Amino acid sequence: MRTQVAIIGGGPAGSLLAFMLRRAGIDSVVLERRSKQYVLSRIRAGVIEQGSADLFTELGLGKRMSSEGFVHEGVAIAFAGNCQRIDFQALTGKHVTIYGQTELQYDLYQALEASGCMLVDEVQHVQVSDLDSGKSHVTYEKEGQTYRVDCDFVAACDGAHGIGRVSIPRDKCAVFERTYPFAWLGLLSHTPPVSDELIYAHHERGFALCSMRNEGLSRYYVQCPADDDVQAWSDDRFWNELCSRLPTEIAARLVTGPSIEKSVTPLRSFVLEPMRYGRMFLAGDSAHIVPPTGAKGLNLAVSDVVYLHEALVDHYATGAMSGLDAYSDRALSRVWKAVRFSWWMTNTLHRFPSDSPECAFNQRLQVAELSYLLDSEVAQLSFAENYVGLPY
């Protein structure tokens, strides 16, 4: 098989890139390790920056998001027993949209099918070869048979555990990483959200977040030890812990119920540089991971795809490699700004282990950071600008 761009990974980044390339008349093949049903069943975050939402609308992918998503013009910060709202719309003229990644993935798969894009799921043993030549190709197995895809370029959109990242020789890349000493315990329930907008809570017992998927589906998180066992958390224990970390008036109106799903998510910052090796380009989680605190993971994947799409369109229109040569630096500039914001939110809102000699000092800094944020319109403007999304 011959195509112009072989895309590894059929999640949001790979699906979006394939769809955008198809609109530009550029052929691609998407290879996905999991089944379509599995991909569509994954529970993921759903805070969409305005820039991402505008892009989906421009591409004709925003119909369901517009009718079923929730526009949030601010978030609340719970601190020292109080809860204060930061007004994104007033500060920046922008907002975010709450729309589950599962729903976005469904929209993308529908669009791929309607446009005739080729997606091969349940592939195994994917390998990339000859990335430093004009004879790049990808091989994979499906149902016991081996297939080969010859291509001009490879887009590795296959996440943190994909073949793209590990195919780069260790001496050809640099890794920047921080692992946090705690995790998020998340609970999904068929209950009305406690608030119309997200609530981020800083408490001496640890961080908490009140989020939602829709009017009748809530998503809540509490900070827990990194090695915690989800089986140790009954529903009652979770609800009691969440209430203890929220201001009294918010906890009083919390509606509890049986969990649909509970999971423990470790927190990690990771960046690989450069986001390119020969004729292979990395996008999304294959190149960078951020803690979920700043809601940047999906949105960074979108901006990577925008940059890579522009560079590929320019190459096929003019033959120039300048856009592709600049892709990594251009993407990383925005990536590191999002990494900084997610790191700042994580460090400011979470309770770090008390056995650290810097613990008391850091706790005082957290109080100072939050007090400054909630007292200063300038600080709130900076927070809002980063949360709604920096320009592409």
CB 173, CB 163: distance < 8 Å: no
How many structural domains does the chain have? 2
Domain membership flag for residue 148: yes
Domain membership flag for residue 87: no
For the stretch 168-218, pLDDT in tens is 999 999 999 999 999 999 999 999 999 999 999 999 999 999 999 888 999
226 and 145 in a common domain: no
Could you say which of 95, 203, 288, 296 is catalytic?
296
225 and 314 in a common domain: no
290 and 159 in a common domain: yes
Question: 190 an active-site residue?
Answer: no
205 and 138 in a common domain: no
Domain membership flag for residue 114: yes
For residue 193, give its domain range.
178-267+354-388
Could you say which of 99, 109, 220, 387 is catalytic?
387
For the stretch 74-105, pLDDT in tens is 999 999 999 999 999 999 999 999 998 899 99
Question: 387 an active-site residue?
Answer: yes
Could you say which of 140, 200, 220, 277 is catalytic?
200
Domain membership flag for residue 318: yes
Could you say which of 72, 203, 309, 315 is catalytic?
72
122 and 37 in a common domain: yes
Could you say which of 292, 315, 327, 350 is catalytic?
292
CATH at residue 379: 3.30.9.10
Mean pLDDT of the region 253-261: 97
CB 223, CB 183: distance < 8 Å: yes
283 and 260 in a common domain: no
For the stretch 101-141, pLDDT in tens is 899 999 999 999 999 999 999 999 999 999 988 789 999 99
Question: 72 an active-site residue?
Answer: yes
CATH at residue 37: 3.50.50.60
Question: 220 an active-site residue?
Answer: no
Question: 106 an active-site residue?
Answer: no
Domain membership flag for residue 191: yes
328 and 185 in a common domain: no
